[in-house]
Chains A and B, each alone.
Chain A
Amino acid sequence: MRKNFARRRPTIALVLYLGPLILAVAVLSGCIGNRYVAPLTTFRNETRQTVGVLSDFYASRNSYEIDIYLQTIAADQSQKIQEKDSQGHPTPLGAPVFSPAGIKARMDALNLVGVYAGKLYDLANPDQSASFGDAANALGKNLSSLSDTFQKLDGTSDPTAKNYIGLVSGLVGTIGQMYIDRKRDELITSAIRTGAPQVDAILSQIRDDMDKIFSLEVTTGANDKLATLIRAYNEGREKLTFEQRVSRLAEVKAAANEAAAAVGSAPSNVVAAMMDAHTKLVKFANSPKKQRPGSFAEFNSALQGWTTQIQTVASQIKLIIH
């Protein structure tokens, strides 16, 4: 009896030692969660969608201008198709209206924002098995050797030790996870702070591009198409069959829808919504603990606004770029 008690004494001592620690971990683990997982997952997903939609828009610019040029030729039988006009200026068929290098640079910048959002997501959602080893190392030998100690006791002198193996392993995991979460929180906060100015600069540039260049291109282009089709119909309507008129009028209707969608700079709006969400993300990352619920709510609200914009813009851009 006395011998058995003596054999169990190390286990009891460890349980007495670990009891309060387990309790503390249980309480703390509820307090220190990874606050970034959900918002950064949404941020990454919305960024991907936005980058996709805007990339399609950028990629279609020169093709769009060729369409308008060819439509003008089609509507006016007196005009020949040419690569250069009578003054030697290249037509959209002869040379791209927007330099391919300029388009690529814009798409690269957008993709960079996508990479940034992806990296933030990766930081918030690391591979658990991979991160555990790092955490164990970071926690030091004492904690990991505690688990090893219990492993060695299993099946040897202490028959009850095996009951604690899972518990201790779980504890090490929880403490490790807490450490990771704390480290992760610091890393993400730092990444957001460091990346924010560059991301803001890129998005501002893209928004300005949309407002000053592409918005004007798209609104005038859509009105050009509509006016060309109306003129072509009015001039040729007497020679058209009923079916041909119906077909032409359907094209006019589509062009009118496109012209309506072009008003209001839809691509610029989605960039503005993205910038708003990013600003709220930075505010959330920088906010002191007491203000986090409020800034988190603001961030979520901005994400929702952004999501709505993406859906609206995606459908409008489809009309614009076909």
Chain B
Amino acid sequence: MITVDTTTLADIINQCFAFSADGRFSDDQQGDFLADGKRLRGLLLNLISAQFNDGTQSVLDANIKLTEVNKQLDKDAVVLANATQALNNVANLVGTLDKLLNVAASFL
């Protein structure tokens, strides 16, 4: 059985919340980061105990995406330079993770 990389997901969530209170972003961008952080946290609580069959491609892809997004958000300068792109990536991640709930084999 495999699981979603929830540790990386938690890092992304915390980064979203941090950006939501970061005055270098516009008010709207801050609001978007807060909303995305909350959506991702809702997914985290559902996925935290979910288990998937070995080799489930959507989970493997999601974990790669989680790592990529986390790397992007980890560099403030990159996010500030392209906040719109960063927010799009996070929004895509929300969609990707949302679909995983339907393919979970079990919840502990």
Residues of A within 8 A of B (CB): 65, 72, 89, 97, 102, 212-213, 216-217, 219-221, 223-224, 226-228, 230-231, 234
Contact = CB atoms under 8 A, between A and B. Distances in A.
Contacts of B108: 102
A231 B20 contact: yes
B6 A216 contact: yes
Interface of B: 6-7, 9-10, 13-14, 17-18, 20-21, 27, 30-31, 34, 37-38, 41-42, 44-46, 48-49, 108
B6 A226 contact: no
B21 A220 contact: no
Given A72-B38, A216-B10, A227 B45 contact: no
A230 B21 contact: yes
Contacts of A226: 17, 21
Nearest to B7: A216
Given A89-B42, A97-B45, A213-B49, A227 B10 contact: no
B21 A231 contact: yes
Nearest to A231: B34
B38 A231 contact: no
Contacts of B48: 212-213, 216-217
A227 B30 CA distance: 10
B42 A227 contact: no
B41 A224 contact: yes
A219 B20 contact: no
B20 A227 contact: yes
17 contacts: A72-B38, A89-B42, A213-B48, A216-B7, A216-B9, A216-B48, A217-B44, A220-B41, A220-B44, A223-B13, A224-B13, A224-B37, A224-B38, A224-B41, A227-B18, A231-B31, A234-B27
B17 A224 contact: yes
Given A212-B6, A231-B21, A219 B14 contact: yes
A227 B21 contact: yes
A227 B21 CA distance: 6
A220 B34 contact: no
Given A89-B42, A220-B10, A227-B34, 10 more contacts: A97-B45, A102-B108, A216-B7, A217-B44, A220-B14, A220-B17, A221-B41, A223-B17, A223-B18, A226-B17
A32 to B, nearest CB: 48
List the 7 closest A-B pairs by CB distance, nearest first: A227-B17, A223-B17, A216-B10, A230-B21, A220-B13, A227-B20, A220-B41
Contacts of B37: 223-224, 227
Nearest to A214: B48
B44 to A, nearest CB: 6
Contact of A65 (B7, B10, B45): B45
Contacts of A221: 41
A230 B49 contact: no
Contact of A219 (B10, B30, B46, B49): B10
Contacts of A217: 44-45, 48
Contacts of A231: 20-21, 30-31, 34
